[in-house]
């Protein structure tokens, strides 16, 4: 009967040890998962920040490009107007001068 008690005691001890190891394994797994999720979240936030900066830069560049395009159009129209006025002035001058 002593053998059975010893075996029973050993079995209980093994079961307790196994349960403790399982609890420790689960705790470590949970910590790993928590660390993984924290890293993923940090990466995601960094990516969002990069995307926001990229979009802000793109918007600023588009505004600058629109301003350059508008200035270019205005300069072109001013040159066209100046050329038309010069041509008109030549015509008027030619009409005022008597033919030789």
Whether the pLDDT of residue 4 is over 80: the answer is no
pLDDT higher at 38 or 97: 38
DSSP, residue by residue, the chain: -HHHHHHHHHHHHHHHHHHHHHHHHHHHHHHHHHHHHHHHHHHHHHHHHHHHHHHHHHHHHHHHHHHHHHHHHHHHHHHHHHHHHHHHHHHHHHHHSPP-
Predicted pLDDT at 2: 62
pTM confidence score: 0.54
Map out the domains of the chain as residue ranges.
Answer: 1-95
Q: What number is the average pLDDT over the span 33-38?
A: 98
Predicted pLDDT at 83: 98
Please give the share of the chain, as a percent, with pLDDT higher than 90.
77
- The predicted-structure confidence for 79-99, as pLDDT tens digits, reads as follows 999 999 999 999 988 888 766
Q: What number is the average pLDDT over the span 48-66?
A: 98
């Amino acid at each position: 009967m002593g053998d059975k008690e010893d075996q029973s005691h050993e079995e209980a001890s093994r079961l307790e040890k196994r349960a403790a190891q399982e609890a420790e394994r689960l705790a470590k797994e949970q910590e790993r998962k928590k660390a993984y999720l924290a890293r993923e979240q940090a990466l995601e936030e960094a990516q969002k920040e990069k995307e926001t900066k990229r979009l802000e830069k793109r918007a600023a560049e588009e505004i600058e490009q629109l301003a350059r395009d508008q200035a270019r159009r205005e300069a072109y129209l001013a040159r066209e107007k100046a050329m038309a006025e010069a041509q008109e002035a030549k015509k008027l001058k030619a009409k005022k001068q008597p033919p030789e």
